[in-house]
């Protein structure tokens, strides 16, 4: 568990300067710290169950955060995979 958390911290530090974070920062003012944390975990291939275990919250709470994230990113009620959408942010910049 500690190794996983260290890997996540390392990835988050790398992401700070990435195009993903620059693009996401345009909507960060709308997102809560918990939603940002969940976005990073989703982006790093964590499932709802893994996220709930890591953050010691229920699966339902993770699902609520996912729904709120989708709404704030403007992809609510669209057939767009959240992880794919998050990974696509910043991909157009080189």
Q: Residue 18 carries which DSSP code?
A: S
Q: Total structural domains in the chain? A: 1
CATH code at position 92: 1.10.10.10
> If you average pLDDT over residues 17-26, what whole number do you get?
61
pTM of structure: 0.67
- Segments forming the whole domain that contains residue 51: 31-94
Measured CA to CA, the distance from residue 53 to residue 25 in angstroms comes to 27
* pLDDT tens digits along 72-93: 888 888 888 888 888 777 554 4
pLDDT value of position 87: 79
In a domain, 82, yes or no: yes
pLDDT at 93: 41
How many residues comprise the chain? 94
pLDDT category of residue 27 using cuts at 50, 70 and 90: low
30-75 tens-digit pLDDT: 888 899 889 989 988 999 999 999 999 999 999 999 999 999 888 8
């Amino acid at each position: 568990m500690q190794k996983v958390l260290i890997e996540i911290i390392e990835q988050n530090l790398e992401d700070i300067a990435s195009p993903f974070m620059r693009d996401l920062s345009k909507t960060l003012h709308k997102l809560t710290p918990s939603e940002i944390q969940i976005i990073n975990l989703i982006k790093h291939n964590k499932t709802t169950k893994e996220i709930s275990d890591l953050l010691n919250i229920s699966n339902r709470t993770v699902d609520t955060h996912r729904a709120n994230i989708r709404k704030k990113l403007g992809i609510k009620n669209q057939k767009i995979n959240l992880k794919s959408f998050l990974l696509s942010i910043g991909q157009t910049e080189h």
